[in-house]
Amino acid sequence: MRTESGMQPQEYMPDTLPTLEKKGENTMVINMGPQHPSTHGVLRVVLELDGETIVGLRSEIGYLHTGMEKEGEYLDYRKALTMTDRMDYLAANSNNLAYTLSVEKLLDLEVPPRGQYLRVMLTELSRIASHCVWLGTHSLDLGAMTPFFYIFTEREKILEMFEMFSGVRMMPSWIIPGGLRGDMPDGFESKLRTFLKEFPAKLVEAEALLKTNPIFMARTQGVGYISAEQCMALGVSGPTLRAAGVGWDLRKSNPYCGYEKFQFSIPTTTNSDVYDRFLVRMAEIRESVKILQQTIDELPSGPWNSDDRKVVPPPREELDTSMEAVIHHFKIYTEGISPPVGEAYVPIEGPKGEIGFYLISDGTAMPYRFHVRPPSFMNLQALETMCLGRMVADVVAIIGSIDIVLGEIDR
Amino acid sequence: MPIPVVDNVRLDVRKLIERFGSDGTEPSRGAIRDIGEHRGDIRITIQTDKLPEIVRFLRDDPELEYKFFSECLGVDYSTWKHPRTVPERFEVVYNLVSLRHFSRIFLKVAVNDGQEVPSLTPIFPGANWPEREVYDMYGIRFAGHPEMVRILTPPGWVGHPLRKEFPLGGERVDFPGGTQGPAVGEVQMPYAGDSWEGKTGSEDVGGR
């Protein structure tokens, strides 16, 4: 941190006491987080309580700020990709895809059908994995421990599949501008088919522990209401918006990666409470399973990468025979790719809502501006509206229902 | 339902031109400085003081219904080397979505250092945090914002990190109690871009 000369540390260091203006006389201000286990990371919430009722709420973020947007301006397009995994680390493939689509829009590049199907496959697996983590931690917050173990076993199977692709469980960086880093590995198809056959039953097992559980229903039904109008004005997207009755899903409304070819529906509910968000996400997992079944059944053959040699490195065997291929290879790995001057923003439907990267290119190998629209950042703003007037124990349920990832909020 | 397009002009653009376009007959007109299209995205640069009026119009028009506030972001053009339509240093880009047509419109306002942008928080409460982030990262203040304080960096931070002159590394790091952490610059660490930039022997690929 840079300081102005002559300042003593205690003068500029942040005041660690709550910065909430008290509304009432007989109220109490208490602090929750940033080391509270149910805040899902380093979120700090300052609450003003009148008895047990919340009359004021303020979220403090930024504890995980690592300057990724600044860093992105100093990395070339292929290197900046690896940072996107670390934003929403529970659904790295979705971030990769959002970033990649923006770069491809700058380049005006098309990806062959097989590449698109594999991208859909990876992002839908990501969505299931992300919702699995949400289900496990959300139920853990509410005192139910068993679903956590059930569903994390299933998530582990998905991470193993990512490992088959890329060698990495959580940060694959497998979707790159121009296509993918490689084709589907041997044995992946049978593994995915087995998973798709077994997973729905396992999901029912975990879901059955909560869906009609009287304690879970008492803690979640009617809690955390927010109207659809408020959601839209606050920029809340994803399952939280769909639980409020707005059937907006970017996969349907503005299809990318050939989503228009797949049969699936958008689950919506109308009560807009914590329980409904649970229902929407459970239904979304089932829709993702449907999409995955279609991708594996209808997977086209052919190349998975664009043949634009200015963007995608040539295959290894070409390097032995073609001088041009060696030059392209060398140029891509030393200089990177340089899209023409322009701006691009391609939003996709991530597990948490609309995620997109606003990229501005000045014609060089590094983005002039590298900006992400993190869904959790916008969704978390709704916390105050959802919590006011509720009991203090509901805060934990509501934070869980928004499904935030602080790595993405703070960047 | 996709947004209607007549003669290659989208309905929202046509309505904006009709209402706010410049023909010099009314003082409220002339709010549009530039209309740009790039790969199907519409980006409209408008007069800064007309921003709330235009956003309110887009939100309340029954045929448009730009009711979803997606985000806003800042851009610092101080090292930009290509032609631009407006001379100001910073731009703030607003991203609005119509859930009626599933269309998206980007509104831009351009400001210099020290100039204020009217806050959109009275129209879209969701503008609260993104505007704080723009202030934090660029130092652009928003008039009428309920709480114009930093959001991602600590309250005592000096400078605005995403301005182009702000270095990527090399500052001393202060810790509580008056101690200082390892300064990156003192161990001769190059900037991230310097490790490869311009080292290929051909053209200067980095450009900065």
A99-119: per-residue pLDDT in tens? 999 999 999 888 999 999 999
- Asked whether the beta carbons of A37 and A374 are under 8 A apart, the reply is no
CA angle A284, A289, A294 (to 5 degrees): 125
Q: In chain A, what percentage of residues exceed pLDDT 90?
A: 34
| Tokens standing for residue A316 | 């290894």
pLDDT value, residue A287: 92
Q: To which H or E segment does residue A324 belong?
A: helix A323-335
Residue A1 has pLDDT above 50, yes or no: no
Question: What chain B residue is nearest to A106 in terms of C-alpha separation?
Answer: B39
- Asked whether the beta carbons of B40 and B105 are under 8 A apart, the reply is no
Label residues A194-223 b or e (16+ Cβ within 10 Å = b). Answer: ebeeebeebbeebbebbeebeebeebbeeb
For chain B, give the mean pLDDT. 79
In chain B, which residues have their Cβ closer than 8 Å to the Cβ of A344? 38-39, 41
User: How many CB contacts within 8 angstroms connect chain A with chain B?
Assistant: 156
Cis peptide before A34 (omega within 30 of 0): yes
Collapsing DSSP to helix, strand or coil, A96 comes out as helix
| Tokens standing for residue A69 | 């947007």
What one-letter code names the amino acid at A311? V
Torsion of Cα atoms, A109 then A110 then A112 then A118, to 10°: 90
| Tokens standing for residue B163 | 């301005």
Work out the burial of residue A138: count CB atoms within 10 Å of its CB; fewer than 13 is exposed, 13-18 middle, 19 or more buried: buried
Q: Do B200 and A335 touch (CB under 8 A)?
A: yes
* Rounded Cα distance, A122 and B74, in Å: 32
Q: Do A344 and B82 touch (CB under 8 A)?
A: no
| Tokens standing for residue A3 | 């300081």
pLDDT value, residue B190: 46
pLDDT value, residue B208: 40
pLDDT in tens, B120-149: 999 999 899 999 999 989 989 999 888 888
* Rounded Cα distance, A329 and A318, in Å: 10
pTM of structure: 0.87
Question: What chain A residue is nearest to B156 in terms of C-alpha separation?
Answer: A12
Residue A7 has pLDDT above 50, yes or no: no
Most confident residue range from A298-302, B2-6, B7-11: A298-302
Band (pLDDT 50/70/90 cuts) for residue B169 is low
In chain B, which residues have their Cβ closer than 8 Å to the Cβ of A71? 168, 192
Work out the burial of residue A102: count CB atoms within 10 Å of its CB; fewer than 13 is exposed, 13-18 middle, 19 or more buried: buried
Residue B3 has pLDDT above 80, yes or no: no
* Rounded Cα distance, A94 and A124, in Å: 8
Residue B173 has pLDDT above 80, yes or no: no
Residue A130 has pLDDT above 90, yes or no: yes
For residue A43, give the nearest of A394, A377, A390 by alpha carbon.
A377
Residue B201 has pLDDT above 50, yes or no: no
* Rounded Cα distance, B177 and A208, in Å: 53
* Rounded Cα distance, B109 and B91, in Å: 6
What one-letter code names the amino acid at A234? L
pLDDT value, residue A20: 61
pLDDT value, residue B199: 46
* Rounded Cα distance, B65 and B41, in Å: 18
* Across B7-32, average pLDDT: 70
pLDDT value, residue B29: 54
User: Is ipTM strictly over 0.90?
Assistant: no
In chain A, which residues have their Cβ closer than 8 Å to the Cβ of B70? 235, 347, 354, 373, 378
Q: Do A62 and B154 touch (CB under 8 A)?
A: yes
In chain B, which residues have their Cβ closer than 8 Å to the Cβ of A342? 38-39
Task: Give helix A188-211 / helix A113-141 axis angle, nearest 10°.
Answer: 30
Within a 13 Å sphere around the CA of A2, how many CA atoms are in the beta-carbon half? 11
pLDDT in tens, A260-307: 889 999 999 988 889 999 999 999 999 999 999 999 998 898 888 888
Q: List all residues 6 or more positions away from B102 whose beta carbon is below 8 Å from its beta carbon.
A: A248, A253, A254, B1, B2, B3
Q: What are phi and psi of A117, to 5 degrees?
A: -65, -40
For chain A, give the mean pLDDT. 87
pLDDT in tens, B50-94: 899 899 998 888 888 899 999 999 999 988 888 888 888 999 999
pLDDT value, residue A196: 92
| Tokens standing for residue B123 | 């129209």
* Rounded Cα distance, B2 and A253, in Å: 9
In chain A, which residues have their Cβ closer than 8 Å to the Cβ of B108? none
pLDDT value, residue B160: 86
- Asked whether the beta carbons of A233 and A379 are under 8 A apart, the reply is no
